Amino acid sequence: MILALGVLALCLSGCLLDPKPEGPSKQDRVELHYETALRYWEMDEVERAQDQVERALALDEDDPRLNLLYGWILLRRDTADDVLLAEQQFRKLAKDDDYRARRGLAQTLERKGILYDEASRAIASGLRVTEAVDPAARASELSDKALESWRESVSLYEATLELRSDDRESMNGLQRANVLLGRRVESLRWSDRLLESLAAHSSFWRKRLDDPDLSASEERHARRLLAEDQELEVNTLMHAASVEVSMGRASSAVARLDILIERRPDFPEAYSRRAQLLFDTGQYERAMNSLDRFLRLSPEPFESESIRRAYTLRSEIEVAMATADPGA
């Protein structure tokens, strides 16, 4: 009897000292919502990601990771209202000298400027109705707001690089935003700097892939980063080629596309754009070869606009070759 009472006392004591868990803690729930939001974000399911972030923020409204992700989500939603909300979000976070928040604000202002510019052009052309008494003055006001947004965007991208000198997304933003401001030479300077950074970064990760002790997860990580580098390199070379064309430097644009094709011989658009430039500069045989390569690589159906344009250009090249002066 005494032994039984002792056992009972121990059980009661254990129950009091080790009560039954009531479920995950608040921090555990925050982490679960955050990790789920990240997965939805990576799958581009923005509304689901936003739902998870808002659930987590209801539990911890000051978590900087959640607030950053919320800003990115608002920016990706890309409505005018969401862009304005993203600006508020990133301005609040940028006060803490977080390079990601500064870059987020820079990207938001870049996008905000584009929205102002589009509205200005639509009003000036009569495609958009405005309640302003003087539509031309309203269009000019919106154009000024666009320039103001892009100038601040450039300053913030530069400030981001002061905190993180190798932030390639900020270099990418600087090549874009400077073009929007009409600073084409400056844009090309950032294009070249970004290409140098990508070359160094890719070289490092290619060497890592040669490491025989590399784990499977590390290999996947390295290959993902190299794929991201390659995509950014393609976009940068295409951007630089377009800027060269806008400056009347067709030969320099062709040289940019030559580099791109050497790096990505399976990228159809580079051949198409190079063909047009070669045709414009009288290099008809090279233009034809480049265009035929585009037609072989392009996955677009025959009736698509890009394929129809290509065949139109092909006919123009044939006529030019037939009428060209052999002694020229």
How high is the mean pLDDT of the chain? 90
**Average pLDDT score over residue span 247-267:** 96
**Structure-model confidence comparison of residues 302 and 86, the more confident one:** 86
**Average pLDDT score over residue span 197-202:** 95
**In the structure, what pLDDT confidence band is assigned to residue 62 with cuts at 50, 70 and 90?**
confident
Residue 20's pLDDT is what?
54
Contacts of 60 (CB under 8 A, 6+ apart): 26, 27, 30, 66
Half-sphere exposure in the Cβ direction for 38 (13 Å, CA): 8
**In the structure, what pLDDT confidence band is assigned to residue 239 with cuts at 50, 70 and 90?**
very high
For residue 219, what is the enclosing H or E element? helix 216-246
Give the torsion through C-alpha atoms of 218, 219, 222, 225, to 10 deg.
Answer: -100
Contacts of 188 (CB under 8 A, 6+ apart): 175, 240, 243, 244
**Structure-model confidence comparison of residues 14 and 232, the more confident one:** 232
Q: Give the CA angle between residues 79, 230, 305 to the nearest 5°.
A: 60
